[in-house]
Amino acid sequence: MREITLSQAVNEALAEEMRRDDTVFIIGEDVAEAGTPFKVLSGLVEEFGTGRVVDTPIAEPGFMGLAVGAAMTGTRPVVDLMFGDFLYLIMDQLCNQAAKTHYMSGGKMRAPLVVRTNLGATRRSAAQHSQSLHALVAHIPGLKVALPSSAYEAKGLMKTAIRDNNPVVIFEDKLMYNDKAPVPEEEFLIPFGEANIKRPGTDITLIGTSSMVQVCEKAAEILSCEGIEAEVIDPRTIVPLDEATLLASAKKTSRVIVVDEGHQSYGVTGEIASRINEKAFYHLDAPVLRMGAMDVPVPFSPALEDLTVPTPEAVAEAARRLMSGEMIHAA
Amino acid sequence: MAQTKTNTEDYLRMYAQMVRIRTFEDTANQLYLSAKMPGLTHMYSGEEAVAVGICEALTTTDRITSTHRGHGHCVAKGAAFKEMFCELLGKEEGYCRGKGGSMHIADQFNGNLGANAIVGGSMGIATGSAFTAKMQGRDDVTVCFFGDGATAQGLLYEVMNMAALWKLPVIYACENNGYSEYTATAEIAAGSITARAEAFGIEAHQVDGQDVLAVNTLTQDLVARARKGEGPFFLELMTYRYHGHHVGDINREYYRSKDEERDWKDNRDPIVKFRGWLVDQGVASEAEIEAMNAEIKQDAAEAVEYALNARYPAESEVDMHVYADIEHALAPHTA
Ligand SMILES: Cc1ncc(C[n+]2csc(CCOP(=O)(O)OP(=O)(O)O)c2C)c(N)n1
Ligand SMILES: [Mg+2]
């Protein structure tokens, strides 16, 4: 199968959906001729024109609000939020307006829009350009949240997001834009709420999201050399969450680590861990472990920044401790 | 497209719509005072000429966004009493199946994209609605209602900038009722409100919001021009709310005097003024007007009676409508 970058995959998904449905448009800062700072959208304005690839002033709440109104009246905006860190600026329009439109109107109105943004540290960008804030929006009923872990997921989830009749926030890992993966030439969609078993295993379950899927896969390789067979699962969307697949794996292996790049406290890892505790408790041989980003603002210095994100070695080490039974006493 | 209001029927409908708003509000206030209504509500009484003057210049396919003080906009855009009272009381037959209440009434069938409990929260939505019209080559116009207090929100300046850059068919309608909650406008708004719009190159007008014909004539002109791509426009409508900020704001002399309230009610009431004009011009007789008033009163009484007896939504509705295309958001997983 051909291999393309995550960036190309997103570009293809957008182009295909814009060709299929002329109500789809892109709006954000420097999305047209510049094709975004990450060059993900290069070429789209040439095909679709500035009427559908719309450059805005630097006014995140403004263009987010505009997108909500446009979505409510019959279009499907894809809002380009240059950095995930800027989510704080659009919170009212996203969480008070878009997320609640369908509910507050008793199902009479809806806001089918996509916010495409990013997450991920270790780009030496410091605390305001490195955050992974998907837990913030996953907390809000009415929003769906997708976390692609490779070019393949980036394409399939984006196409599903655009066709969804709800507001969807999709976070791309900005360190993976140039990473290649096999992506079929023919059209495909990835349904929301279907986890992907990236690597089958029997001894321990590693649940990883977005950037942390690769980390878990590398940890599984390390562990395999030591005779520990880890199962790696990528939920792909955290809202909706494919609980069934996660619980089945937890029941099978009886040990689980949840790895996610958002801050550990009050985050995605805690949510998934507690669902497993509540629903698979009697199948577990050890407490479910959370591994998130360190609870500090992301520091600039490489010497410090690298300490804040889970690594394959750290995940492998935690797995060894769980396997050894040490954690039973620690709990 | 809206025609110039030159005939009797149009004048009488404008009058009736203003009386319908006043009657709706008086009835809603009674519901609150008799503890029959859950929560609080913000009365539009006194400002009727604004909503009616503007909405009578619109067609059903033109859209509006509304505010926490939104009953007037809703009635003026064509909503029915029954579904409105049902919504205020949290009943199943309300416009939003009881999920929105007074501050979130929406009536998308008549082009009302909804009230909003976030001050200034709908400025983006209105601008986006106008963006859709432009993108899809339709000639409908969107009116964004908001208060003087909302002009302090940064969102307004972000979206006016974009609307002006892209010539969107949107009219920003600032209802300046002199107060933002319990604070006089002079204390929260520096400089001129219309000049802020003008700074973006947006044509702005200040108009007497108690004069329904003045509001309507100006709006008709602006709507026609917005349809031709000459928008956006900005209106500052000078008006007054008769009640407190919300129905529970009873003792309010610490921020505005009874004399001031009396002066607006006695000398500048939009309904009394227009009624006098209708009689003077021979459009309607006192008797005909009294008959209209009585009929509207009767309508409201019947609607409220119906709503009081209507069903609440079933408990199973609590997790419905969280997501489009998912019947119950909390349906047990297959695990
Ligand atoms: C963002 C936000 N801040 C504060 C409030 C509380 N609040 C509700 S109405 C209001 C005053 C609004 O004044 P104005 O815009 O002039 O509208 P009016 O009530 O006079 O119609 C305030 C402060 C709110 N609902 N939303
Ligand atoms: Mg006010």
A60 is catalytic: yes
pLDDT tens for A201-249 read: 999 999 999 999 999 999 999 999 999 999 999 999 999 999 999 999 9
CA dist B335 and B333 (Å) reads 5
Which residue matches tokens 């009674």? B30
Q: What is the mean pLDDT of residues B44-59?
A: 98
Residue A259 has pLDDT above 60, yes or no: yes
pLDDT tens for A124-142 read: 999 999 999 999 999 999 9
CB-CB neighbors (< 8 A) of B121 in chain A: 92-93, 96-97
What pLDDT is recorded for position A117? Answer: 98
Half-sphere exposure in the Cβ direction for A273 (13 Å, CA): 21
Written as six digits, the tokens of B137 are 């080559």
Partnered with residue A197 across adjacent β-strands are A233
Q: Quick one: pLDDT band at residue B1, thresholds 50, 70, 90?
A: very low
| CATH fold group of domain B8-319 | Rossmann fold (3.40.50)
Nearest to B315 by CA among B95, B94, B92, B103: B92
- Determine the distance separating the centroid of ligand 2 and the alpha carbon of B175, expressed in angstroms: 7
CA dist A135 and A123 (Å) reads 21
Contacts of B201 (CB under 8 A, 6+ apart): B164
Contacts of B290 (CB under 8 A, 6+ apart): none
Contacts of A4 (CB under 8 A, 6+ apart): A12, A151, A180, A181, A183
Dihedral of alpha carbons B251, B257, B259, B260, sign: negative
- Check residue B12 and give left, alpha or beta (phi > 0: left; psi -120 to 50: alpha): alpha
CB-CB neighbors (< 8 A) of A51 in chain B: 135
Q: Count of CB atoms within 10 A of residue A86's CB?
A: 19
Provide the residue type at B180 as one letter: S
Residue A328 has pLDDT above 70, yes or no: no
Alpha helices (runs of H) in chain B, residue ranges in sequence order: 8-33, 48-55, 71-76, 81-88, 123-135, 154-166, 185-188, 193-198, 212-227, 258-267, 270-280, 286-309
CA dist A154 and A11 (Å) reads 10
A226 is catalytic: no
pLDDT tens for A293-309 read: 999 999 999 999 999 99
CATH of A3-182, one of 3.30.70.20, 1.25.40.10, 3.40.50.970, 2.40.110.10: 3.40.50.970
Backbone angles phi, psi at A263, to 5 degrees: -55, 145
Q: Quick one: pLDDT band at residue A326, thresholds 50, 70, 90?
A: confident
| Angle (deg, nearest 10), helices B81-88 and B286-309 | 40
B52 touching chain A per CB within 8 A: no
pTM over 0.90: yes
Query: CATH 3.40.50.970 spans which residues of chain A?
Result: 3-182
CA dist A37 and A118 (Å) reads 12
Domain spans of chain B, in order of start:
8-319
Backbone angles phi, psi at A204, to 5 degrees: -155, 150
Q: Ligand 1: list residues with CB < 6 Å.
A: B 68-69, 117-119, 146-150, 177, 179-181, 245
What pLDDT is recorded for position B6? Answer: 63
Q: Count of CB atoms within 10 A of residue B5's CB?
A: 19
Considering every ligand atom, which ligand is closest to the CA of B50? 1
Cβ pair A222, A316 in contact under 8 A: yes
Q: What is the mean pLDDT of residues B182-210?
A: 97
Residues 265-294 of B with CB under 8 A from A: none
CATH number of A196-323: 3.40.50.920
CA dist A91 and B129 (Å) reads 20
pLDDT tens for A148-198 read: 999 999 999 999 999 999 999 999 999 999 999 999 999 999 999 999 999
CA dihedral B272, B273, B279, B285 (to 10 degrees): -20
DSSP state for residue B58 in the 8-state scheme: S
CB-CB neighbors (< 8 A) of A277 in chain B: none
Given A17, A29, A60, A231, the catalytic residue: A60
Question: Distance between the two ends of chain A, CA-based, in angstroms?
Answer: 46
